[in-house]
Amino acid sequence: MPGVAITDNGNMFGVMEFFDYVSRVNNDRRQKGKKPFKPIIGCELYVAPGAKEDKKLGKHCKGYRLTVLAKNYQGYRNLIKIVSNSWTDGFYMRPRTDHHDLEKYHEGIIVLSGGVGSEVYSHVVSDDIAGLDATIKWYKQTFGMDYYLELLRCADFDLTRDTPSDLMLEQQRVNAVLMQKAKESGVKVVATNDVHYVAPEDLAAYNIQKCYATGKTMDEFAKTDILQFRWLTSRKHMCELFSDIPEAIANTMDIYNKVEFYDIRHAPMVPAIYIPDSFGNERREKEDNYLEHLSFAKAKQIYGELLPEDVTERLKFELKIIKQKGASGYFLFLQDVINTAQSELGVWVGPGRGSAAGSLVCYCLGITKIDPLKHDLLFERFLSIDRVTLPDIDIDFDDEGRERVLEWLQQKYGKECCAHVVSFRAFSTANAFNTVARVNQVHTPETLAIKEILSGYSWRSIKNYIKYEPEIRKAIRKVGNPLLILLY
């Protein structure tokens, strides 16, 4: 396959990791003279039956599923806006968008009608043909040739009887109706695959994570929620599965060809602060000159009018690196925030933590309150010319003061220009082991002992423990085969 799309449910949390991974793959492919692989960025949205702000409980209040892809950079920006609004304005059990936002931000967007739980699917299942026709008409009017009716054929056999499941029979019926409506409306059909994990052997890990997220055990989860046939199947398999509808396979490449290569990475966007005109003409020049002026002026207040030689040399060295990295505005912005927090908002600000304490510029500007020269701290741990991204500068405010700082930032720069940043955590070795044991209800003295040992070396993988630590290997084998199979 020459490309793949990522469409997480209601969010775009995986987009950056996905894009960076494909970029590394493509660097290797280009060196070998191969055609680059195309990353297609999307999201499976939840579309509210009415306005997304309407929180009334009713049928389909959680929203209809809709598959959306960005075909160019403008579409990517529009998709970000749609998803952001679904969280900030439309959240009701799920992040929900609506027809208003889809129409407003339709440019550069490709829409697939969605599978189970989508609007068209639900209309067919409930025999609401009038509603189906109205839905197809609206999406076609809004997205034109970038709207496709989605066909799914999940291999969801009832393994106890080796017969098609109710879902497979339902999809067969829905597909027949959508094929007919596609001919009537002039909308293309496209074959899709309901992917929840990459390979068949990933099912165990997927189920464990679902149990972890829902608080269920594997016994409870297995009764209702197991998705046994949801891996990324091969091109050959998909072609065979839809051999009677070749246009549905061909249209996957129609979508692929519409999607452009575009870069979602960009330089940091630092808010502009007021700088007197006397410091230069262009913004970059003014920021560099103003930062240098403030740094030396503040240094003289700390160390005396006649600066010691080590202070002068250190400031010149740090300012040179900061200017080369184009980061002067970043330091000026933080200085403005901290100065305002302390002098105008009455907020307690921490002395600084992390590698930022190694910067004399930060100390002189009042961003940190620790003298790096006195404590022999290294600036290079904080920022070096080889560093690609701007460094983190962690700032601690007292609990009440933090809210006042956030309100001030929103008032000064506009609420629409301020956002909270989400962070993601991965399972540590000990937590991963404990989760596997808990959802499989393997609570024994051996598992508790293993968890205790693993907690001391969280940086090592379970595979390495099993491979190199005889005592761990022996203890895990003693617990039983189910746990051992899952861990391997």
Q: Which residue has the higher pLDDT, 243 or 61?
A: 243
pLDDT of 68 over the 80 cut: yes
With vertex at residue 332, the alpha carbon angle to CA 329 and CA 334, rounded to the nearest 5 degrees, is 110
Residues with Cβ within 8 Å of 456's Cβ and at least 6 positions away in sequence, in order, are none
In one-letter notation, the amino acid at residue 53 is E
Query: Mind listing the pLDDT tens digit for each residue in 256-296?
Result: 999 999 999 987 888 988 999 899 889 999 999 999 999 99
Instruction: Please report the pLDDT score of residue 159 as a whole number.
Output: 55
CA-to-CA distance for 327 and 333, rounded, in angstroms? Answer: 10
Instruction: Please report the pLDDT score of residue 313 as a whole number.
Output: 95
DSSP state of 158: B
Q: Which residue has the higher pLDDT, 391 or 109?
A: 109
Query: Mind listing the pLDDT tens digit for each residue in 100-126?
Result: 999 999 999 999 999 999 999 999 999
SS3 at position 408? helix
Burial of 279 (0-12, 13-18, 19+ CB in 10 A): middle
SS3 at position 45? strand
Instruction: Please report the pLDDT score of residue 257 as a whole number.
Output: 97
Instruction: Please report the pLDDT score of residue 459 as a whole number.
Output: 60
DSSP state of 201: G
Q: Which of 117-126, 243-252, 376-385, 466-475 has the lowest mean pLDDT?
A: 466-475
pTM for this predicted structure: 0.84
Q: Which residue has the higher pLDDT, 402 or 166?
A: 402
Q: What is the mean pLDDT of the chain?
A: 89
What structural domains and CATH numbers belong to the chain? 3-195+232-258 (3.20.20.140), 277-417 (no CATH), 429-487 (no CATH)
Which H helix or E strand runs over 112? strand 109-112
CB 259 within 8 A of CB 40: yes
Task: For residues 171-189, give the mean pLDDT.
Answer: 95
pLDDT band at 388 (very low <50, low <70, confident <90, very high): confident
CB 365 within 8 A of CB 335: yes
Task: For residues 406-424, give the mean pLDDT.
Answer: 88
Instruction: Please report the pLDDT score of residue 423 as a whole number.
Output: 82
Instruction: Please report the pLDDT score of residue 309 as a whole number.
Output: 94
CB 272 within 8 A of CB 283: yes
Instruction: Please report the pLDDT score of residue 225 as a whole number.
Output: 62
CB 436 within 8 A of CB 427: no
CA-to-CA distance for 461 and 141, rounded, in angstroms? Answer: 52
Where is mean pLDDT largest: 142-146, 393-397, 430-434, 483-487?
Answer: 142-146
Task: For residues 410-432, give the mean pLDDT.
Answer: 84
DSSP state of 306: S
pLDDT of 58 over the 90 cut: no
% pLDDT > 90, the chain: 62
In one-letter notation, the amino acid at residue 301 is Q
Task: For residues 467-477, give the mean pLDDT.
Answer: 73
Q: Which residue has the higher pLDDT, 160 or 198?
A: 198
pLDDT of 57 over the 80 cut: no
Instruction: Please report the pLDDT score of residue 373 as a whole number.
Output: 93
CB 70 within 8 A of CB 42: yes
CB 130 within 8 A of CB 167: no
Q: Which of 203-217, 274-288, 397-411, 418-432 has the lowest mean pLDDT?
A: 418-432
Instruction: Please report the pLDDT score of residue 446 as a whole number.
Output: 72
Instruction: Please report the pLDDT score of residue 456 as a whole number.
Output: 66
Query: Do strands 188-192 and 109-112 pair parallel, antiparallel, or not at all (unpaired)?
Result: unpaired
Instruction: Please report the pLDDT score of residue 433 as a whole number.
Output: 81
CA-to-CA distance for 350 and 365, rounded, in angstroms? Answer: 14
pLDDT of 202 over the 70 cut: yes
Q: Which residue has the higher pLDDT, 335 or 391?
A: 335
CB 286 within 8 A of CB 275: yes
pLDDT band at 157 (very low <50, low <70, confident <90, very high): low
pLDDT of 226 over the 70 cut: no
Instruction: Please report the pLDDT score of residue 445 as a whole number.
Output: 76
CB 476 within 8 A of CB 485: no
Q: How many CB atoms are closer than 10 A to CB 414? A: 9
Tell me phi and psi for residue 32, to 5 degrees.
Answer: -95, 5
Instruction: Please report the pLDDT score of residue 5 as a whole number.
Output: 95
Tell me phi and psi for residue 218, to 5 degrees.
Answer: -65, -35
Q: Which residue has the higher pLDDT, 65 or 477?
A: 65
Instruction: Please report the pLDDT score of residue 123 as a whole number.
Output: 95
Torsion sign over Cα 469, 475, 481, 487: negative
CA-to-CA distance for 143 and 105, rounded, in angstroms? Answer: 10
Instruction: Please report the pLDDT score of residue 161 as a whole number.
Output: 64
Task: For residues 357-378, give the mean pLDDT.
Answer: 93
Residues with Cβ within 8 Å of 252's Cβ and at least 6 positions away in sequence, in order, are 190, 191, 192
Query: Mind listing the pLDDT tens digit for each residue in 73-104?
Result: 999 999 999 999 999 999 998 999 999 999 99
Task: For residues 128-150, give the mean pLDDT.
Answer: 97
Instruction: Please report the pLDDT score of residue 204 as a whole number.
Output: 84
Which H helix or E strand runs over 284? helix 283-303
Query: Do strands 64-70 and 38-47 pair parallel, antiparallel, or not at all (unpaired)?
Result: antiparallel
